């Protein structure tokens, strides 16, 4: 418990640091939101008026404190082109979350059986094929596999219409259907890493003394594997999966571009281009919070799987 | 409309983020003194009640490069938004594809002799998308609302009055013979408060829904007043295609049916199931130099650059020879103002260029930086050719790619640059939208160009009532720009539009307009 409290206070500090960085970054890069809104023909007095209205003329610390105070109270402010930021994010976040969940699901159901299978049949033909394939696929970045998937499954096999995204509000299953291939593109490298990790971890555990003992007590291979080995072998895999989940959310920023999905990632990029600071700041803070929460959850799961960790840390 | 045949000599990939490129060029004041002839316009009333309905459940999807910045036509700024809203809103007058201003919500107009009073007769039985009839009150409220946004083109508007139920009079504080071209301002119902979420206009298409970052859905307006120009296709979606690399795949896959301003490379990649329309972008593309910094404050140096640079070579490299050469700040589709002879003010002559440089005191050349917006490949490609062409006269140019917002701030607003390559478009159908910015005290004179003769010629043009006479003075302006080498004028860039062959009828306008009402199913 003490540990979790310590972790949580660290999270708050990190968030403050992130918020300062985000806020400063957008004050340092060139580009003036007022010009962006009023266009190139605006006169200086019009620009000044709008800057005043938007509070852009106040000193930077005043603006920062105002923003962070509103943020804490749950008021994410007004987007320069879309109205309420909260409403906008609530509208778009299901898209990205579903994409990440689907990718995570794919990773889970493919990599765990495959990892165990290859470890059990180490050196076999299938194991060898999987290991080689694994290495190859691991080296392909998601945006590239996205392009290949579009080409092969979209244009050649016509299993989906490139760019044919439908909103979850209009046709939920059509929406899920469109996300399958993007999810595969995001999941592929994670699957390969997870298989490799799990395979290595299981093989290592199998060679340990306790496994031999377990066998000598008359357990079947299956029993040893699932009741003893896997429990230990899973610990590094859980860490990896936790990180992968956070990674998938941020990785979707790239994949959303490739597949033309209007999720959080697209919103982030277009808001940066439009100098729509309230949106950018809210999204980056959101991603930061998500990564930290996931890390915290991973920590908690650790403890459940292996109580020894608690003893060491506390 | 022609099917383009490609020689295929351009083998580079290109991004097509055209979006941000278009600069709105707007003129501030008019100082003309009088307008003698009272022009009157009236349009052919569509009599036949034939609405060529090819209605089906088919949805026509147009890819657009960025999301709309606003649905409120009085607030929307970007050219990319204006060209979409053209389908929903109309003004008192409406431009056509030849650049004429036709009466729209006004059935006719009168301009007073001194060009300070514009009187519009409101067309009868024009309906808004909500079913209400357009009244003089709606017109007055809309024009007033637009003026209240602080729009610079309405700065000289003194009064907007309702004369009677079908007449509206606009009074200007200064005579302006070109004010009619500003009367395309969207007319909305007088009680409009939520144009942002529920835009109501009178155009051939009516608003259905909008999803941020995704799309704008419109539907044919069945009660459109101009029966002859009513829409053909019932359901139209403007879909945001944020990633230009997806355009070809999305066209081929069928998720979009049309995309305006694809690159020549993308046109090459598309299969036979697409018709490629080739037109011009209506931009004045040039190597703009800062006339206030050394060495470009010297006219001889600027002329030397003009002699060193060959527009044809640039067009060959950038888009396989497509594009139209220009010699001054005017593009060819503004037919009456365009002066083709200015293309020959300077023809490539390396020796002459070197001689001018020596005269100017730079016998060994000099070094400068060209800041180019990074989101627009044709400008970057142009810069690359220019760098090579300048090498021949001993001038070293360096290309610095900068992001569009940085360009706006550094180059456009703060004039912190030596040279840049962009294209200027005209936001309204008149010559001053391109030429005003060269006058010495123009707020948008980013070139720091200052020439007494030019200012005089421009002022005279503005004050001239007779159109032929006025054109003469505008051409004089163009000639001065060319001779004093205000910039190195290059070309009006080619524009390629991909349209699924199931459809036909794409029409180019001399303005930023995508007129979807003209598109119909192919026979």
3-state secondary structure chain A: CHHHHHHHHHHHHHHHHHHHHHHHHHHHCCCCHHHHHHCCCCCHHHHHHHHHHHCCCCCHHHHHHHHHHHHHCCCCCEECCCEEHHHHHHHHHHHHHHHHHHHHHHHHHHHHHHHHHHHHCCCCHHHHHHHHHHHHHHCCCHHHHHHHHHHHHHHHCCCCCCCCCCCCCCCHHHHHHHHHHHHHHHHHHHHHHHHHHHHHHHHHHHCCHHHHHHHHCCCCHHHHHHHHHHHHHHHHHHHHHHHHHHHHHHHHHHHHHHCCCCCHHHHHHHHHHCCCHHHHHHHHHHHHHHHHHHHHHHHHHHHHHCCHHHHHHC
Helix, strand, coil percentages for chain B (3-state, nearest 5): 30, 20, 50
pTM to 2 decimal places? 0.82
Interface test with A, best of B27, B64, B213 (most A CBs within 10 A): B213
Is the predicted pLDDT of residue B267 greater than 50, yes or no? yes
What pLDDT, on the 0 to 100 scale, is given for residue A26? 78
Search chain B and give the residue with CA nearest A276.
B69
Which one of B152, B240, B409 has the shortest CB-CB distance to A30? B409
Is the predicted pLDDT of residue A109 greater than 90, yes or no? yes
What pLDDT, on the 0 to 100 scale, is given for residue A311? 55
**What's the pLDDT tens digit per position in A172-181?**
999 999 999 9
**What's the pLDDT tens digit per position in B314-325?**
999 988 888 999
Whether residues A162 and B250 touch (CB distance < 8 A) is answered with: yes
Burial of A68 (0-12, 13-18, 19+ CB in 10 A): middle
Which one of A163, A257, A275 has the shortest CB-CB distance to B405? A275
Which one of B213, B249, B405 has the shortest CB-CB distance to A154? B249
CB of A283 within 8 A of CB of A266? no
Q: Could you give the residue range(s) of every CATH 3.10.105.10 domain in chain B? A: 283-492
Search chain A and give the residue with CA nearest B150.
A46
Which one of A41, A81, A167 has the shortest CB-CB distance to B70? A81
**What's the pLDDT tens digit per position in A203-256?**
888 888 888 888 888 777 777 777 778 888 888 888 888 888 888 887 888 899
SS3 B121: strand
Chain A residues close to B254, C-beta within 8 Å: 161, 164
Whether residues A38 and B211 touch (CB distance < 8 A) is answered with: no
**Which range, A20-29, B244-253, B381-390, has the best average confidence (pLDDT)?**
B381-390
Is the predicted pLDDT of residue B34 greater than 60, yes or no? no
How far A66 CA lies from chain B's nearest CA (Å)?
25
Q: How confident is the model at residue B32 (pLDDT cuts 50, 70, 90)?
A: very low
Of the listed ranges A73-77, B4-8, B52-56, B381-385, the least confidently predicted one is B4-8
- Rounded Cα gap, residues A188 and A149, in angstroms: 11
What pLDDT, on the 0 to 100 scale, is given for residue B18? 31
What pLDDT, on the 0 to 100 scale, is given for residue B431? 87
For CA atoms B147, B151, B152, B153, give the dihedral sign: negative
- Rounded Cα gap, residues A237 and A255, in angstroms: 24
Mean pLDDT, chain B, rounded, equals 85
Is the predicted pLDDT of residue B117 greater than 50, yes or no? yes
**What's the pLDDT tens digit per position in B36-88?**
333 333 333 333 333 444 445 689 999 998 888 889 999 887 788 999 999 99
Q: How confident is the model at residue A55 (pLDDT cuts 50, 70, 90)?
A: confident
**A151 part of contact set with chain B, CB < 8 Å:** yes
Torsion angle, alpha carbons of A51, A53, A59, A63, to 10: -110
Q: How confident is the model at residue B19 (pLDDT cuts 50, 70, 90)?
A: very low
Q: Could you give the residue range(s) of every CATH 3.90.76.10 domain in chain B? A: 4-204+495-521
Interface size A-B, in CB pairs within 8 Å, comes to: 117
**What's the pLDDT tens digit per position in A251-280?**
888 899 888 899 998 889 888 888 888 899
Q: Would you tell me which CATH number, out of the four given (3.55.50.30, 3.90.76.10, 3.40.50.720, 3.40.605.10), belongs to the domain B4-204+495-521?
A: 3.90.76.10
Interface test with A, best of B61, B152, B196, B214 (most A CBs within 10 A): B214
Strand partners, B102: B94
What pLDDT, on the 0 to 100 scale, is given for residue B198? 92
Burial B5-42 (b: 16+ CB within 10 A, else e): eeeeebeeebbbbbbbbbbbbbbbbbebeebeeeeebe
User: For residue A15, what are its two tokens?
Assistant: 């968030």
User: For residue B80, what are its two tokens?
Assistant: 């990319």
Average pLDDT over residues B151-180: 90
Mean pLDDT, chain A, rounded, equals 85
Per CB distance under 8 Å, which residues of B are interface residues toward A?
Answer: 23-26, 66-67, 69-70, 77-78, 150, 152, 196, 211-214, 239-243, 245-246, 249-250, 252-256, 403-406, 408-410, 412-413, 427, 443-444
Chain B residues close to A165, C-beta within 8 Å: 214, 255
More confident residue, B309 or B36: B309
Chain A residues close to B250, C-beta within 8 Å: 162-163, 260
Strand partners, B236: B60, B218
More confident residue, A44 or A25: A25
Which one of A40, A258, A266 has the shortest CB-CB distance to B213? A266
CB of A97 within 8 A of CB of A261? no
Domain ranges of chain A: 2-85, 93-313
Chain B residues close to A43, C-beta within 8 Å: 150, 152, 443
Chain A residues close to B196, C-beta within 8 Å: 83
What pLDDT, on the 0 to 100 scale, is given for residue B38? 36
Chain A residues close to B23, C-beta within 8 Å: 40
Is the predicted pLDDT of residue B26 greater than 80, yes or no? no
- Rounded Cα gap, residues B254 and B186, in angstroms: 33
User: For residue B480, what are its two tokens?
Assistant: 């001065």
Chain B residues close to A44, C-beta within 8 Å: 443
CB of B113 within 8 A of CB of B145? no
**What's the pLDDT tens digit per position in B143-164?**
999 998 877 788 889 999 999 9
How far A287 CA lies from chain B's nearest CA (Å)?
20
**A17 part of contact set with chain B, CB < 8 Å:** no
ipTM score above 0.90: no
Whether residues B211 and A273 touch (CB distance < 8 A) is answered with: no
How far B277 CA lies from chain A's nearest CA (Å)?
23
Whether residues A163 and B255 touch (CB distance < 8 A) is answered with: yes
- How far is the CA of A15 from the CAs of A7, A11, A19, A75, B358, in angstroms? 12, 6, 6, 17, 61
Chain A residues close to B246, C-beta within 8 Å: 150, 162-163, 258-260
Q: How confident is the model at residue B190 (pLDDT cuts 50, 70, 90)?
A: very high
Whether residues A161 and B256 touch (CB distance < 8 A) is answered with: no
Chain B residues close to A164, C-beta within 8 Å: 253-255
Any idea what DSSP says for residue B185? P
User: Could you tell me the fold of the domain covering B283-492?
Assistant: Dipeptide-binding Protein; domain 3 (3.10.105)
Q: Return the CATH architecture of domain A93-313.
A: Orthogonal Bundle (1.10)
What pLDDT, on the 0 to 100 scale, is given for residue B274? 95
User: For residue B24, what are its two tokens?
Assistant: 């709105």
Q: How confident is the model at residue B346 (pLDDT cuts 50, 70, 90)?
A: very high
Is the predicted pLDDT of residue B288 greater than 90, yes or no? yes
Interface test with B, best of A162, A177, A264 (most B CBs within 10 A): A162
What pLDDT, on the 0 to 100 scale, is given for residue B153? 83
Whether residues A30 and B405 touch (CB distance < 8 A) is answered with: yes
- Rounded Cα gap, residues B205 and B231, in angstroms: 7
**A270 part of contact set with chain B, CB < 8 Å:** yes
Chain A residues close to B24, C-beta within 8 Å: 39-41
Chain A residues close to B211, C-beta within 8 Å: 91, 167, 262
In sequence order, the 6+-apart residues with CB closer than 8 A to the CB of B497 are B258, B259, B260, B261, B262, B276, B277, B278, B279, B506, B508
Which one of B213, B245, B252 has the shortest CB-CB distance to A270? B213
What pLDDT, on the 0 to 100 scale, is given for residue A309? 64
User: For residue B363, what are its two tokens?
Assistant: 């016998």
Is the predicted pLDDT of residue B10 greater than 50, yes or no? no
- Rounded Cα gap, residues B436 and B428, in angstroms: 12
Is the predicted pLDDT of residue A107 greater than 50, yes or no? yes
**What's the pLDDT tens digit per position in A151-171?**
899 888 888 888 888 888 888
**What's the pLDDT tens digit per position in B226-266?**
999 999 999 999 999 878 888 998 999 889 999 998 888 89
């Amino acid at each position: 418990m003490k540990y979790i409290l310590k972790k949580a206070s660290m999270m708050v500090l990190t968030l403050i640091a992130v918020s300062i960085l985000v806020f400063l970054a957008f004050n340092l890069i060139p580009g003036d939101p007022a010009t962006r809104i009023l266009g190139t023909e605006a006169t200086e007095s019009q620009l000044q008026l709008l800057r005043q209205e938007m509070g852009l003329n106040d000193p930077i610390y005043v603006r920062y404190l105002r923003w962070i105070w509103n943020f804490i109270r749950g008021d994410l402010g007004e987007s320069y082109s879309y109205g309420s930021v909260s409403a906008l994010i609530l509208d778009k976040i299901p898209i990205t979350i579903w994409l990440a969940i689907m990718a995570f699901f794919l990773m889970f159901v493919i990599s765990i059986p495959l990892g165990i299978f290859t470890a059990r049949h180490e050196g076999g033909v299938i194991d060898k094929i999987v290991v080689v394939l694994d290495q190859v696929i691991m080296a392909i970045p998601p945006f590239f596999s996205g392009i290949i998937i579009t080409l092969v499954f979209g244009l050649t096999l016509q299993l989906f219409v490139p760019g044919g995204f439908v909103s979850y509000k209009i046709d939920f299953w059509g929406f899920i259907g469109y996300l399958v291939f993007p999810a595969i593109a995001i999941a592929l490298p994670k699957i390969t890493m997870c298989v490799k990790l799990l395979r290595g971890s299981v093989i290592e555990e199998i060679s340990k003394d306790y496994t031999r003992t377990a066998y000598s007590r008359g357990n079947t291979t299956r029993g040893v594997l699932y009741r003893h080995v896997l429990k230990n072998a899973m610990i590094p895999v859980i860490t990896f999966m936790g990180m992968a989940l956070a990674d998938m959310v941020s990785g979707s920023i790239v994949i959303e571009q490739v597949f033309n999905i209007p999720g959080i990632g697209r919103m982030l990029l277009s808001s940066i281009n439009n100098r729509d600071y309230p949106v950018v700041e809210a999204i980056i803070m959101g991603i930061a919070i998500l990564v930290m929460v996931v890390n915290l959850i991973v920590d908690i799961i650790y403890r459940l799987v292996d109580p020894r960790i608690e003893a060491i840390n506390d | 409309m022609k099917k383009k045949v490609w020689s295929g000599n351009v083998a580079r990939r290109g991004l097509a983020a055209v979006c941000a490129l278009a600069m709105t060029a707007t003129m501030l004041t008019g100082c003309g003194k009088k307008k003698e002839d009272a022009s009157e316009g009236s349009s052919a009333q569509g009599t036949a009640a034939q609405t060529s309905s090819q209605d089906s459940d088919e949805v026509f999807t147009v890819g657009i490069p960025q999301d709309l910045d606003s649905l409120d036509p009085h607030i929307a700024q970007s050219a990319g938004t204006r060209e979409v809203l053209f389908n929903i809103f109309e003004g008192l007058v409406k431009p056509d594809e030849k650049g004429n201003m036709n009466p729209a919500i006004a059935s006719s107009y009168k301009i007073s002799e001194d060009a300070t009073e514009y009187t519009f007769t409101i067309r009868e039985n024009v309906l808004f998308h909500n079913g209400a009839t357009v009244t003089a009150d709606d017109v007055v409220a809309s024009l007033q609302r637009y003026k209240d946004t602080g729009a610079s083109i309405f700065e000289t508007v003194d009064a907007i009055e309702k004369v009677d139920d079908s007449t509206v009079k606009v009074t200007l504080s200064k005579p302006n013979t070109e004010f009619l071209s500003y009367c395309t301002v969207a007319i909305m119902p007088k009680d409009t408060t939520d144009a942002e979420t529920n835009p109501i206009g009178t155009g051939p298409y009516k608003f259905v829904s909008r999803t941020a970052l995704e799309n704008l859905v419109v539907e044919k307006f069945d009660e459109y007043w101009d029966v002859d120009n009513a829409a053909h296709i019932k359901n139209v979606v403007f879909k945001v295609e944020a990633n230009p690399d997806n355009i070809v795949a999305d066209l081929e896959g069928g998720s979009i049916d049309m995309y305006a301003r694809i690159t020549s490379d993308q046109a090459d990649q598309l299969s036979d199931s697409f018709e490629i329309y080739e037109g011009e972008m209506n931009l004045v593309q040039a190597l703009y130099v800062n006339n206030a910094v050394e060495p470009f404050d010297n006219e001889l140096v600027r002329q030397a650059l003009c002699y060193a640079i060959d527009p044809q070579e640039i067009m060959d490299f950038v888009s396989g020879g497509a594009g139209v050469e220009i010699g001054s700040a005017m593009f060819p589709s503004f037919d009456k103002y365009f002066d083709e002879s200015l293309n020959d003010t300077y023809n490539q002559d390396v020796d002459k260029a070197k001689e001018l440089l020596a005269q100017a005191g730079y016998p060994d050349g000099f070094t400068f930086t060209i800041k180019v917006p990074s989101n627009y490949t044709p400008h970057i490609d142009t810069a690359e050719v220019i760098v090579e062409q300048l090498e021949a006269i001993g001038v070293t140019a360096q290309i610095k790619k900068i992001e569009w917002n940085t360009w706006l701030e550094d180059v456009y607003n703060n004039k912190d640059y030596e040279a840049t390559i962009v294209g200027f478009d005209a936001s309204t159908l008149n010559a001053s939208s391109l030429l005003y910015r060269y006058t010495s005290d123009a707020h948008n004179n980013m070139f720091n160009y200052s020439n007494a003769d030019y200012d005089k010629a421009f002022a005279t043009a503005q004050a001239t009532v007779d159109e032929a006479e006025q054109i003469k003075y505008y051409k004089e302006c163009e000639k001065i720009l060319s001779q004093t080498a205000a910039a190195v004028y290059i070309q009006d860039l080619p524009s390629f539009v991909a349209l699924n062959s199931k459809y036909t009828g794409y029409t180019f306008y001399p303005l930023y307009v995508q007129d979807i009402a003209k598109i119909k199913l192919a026979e």
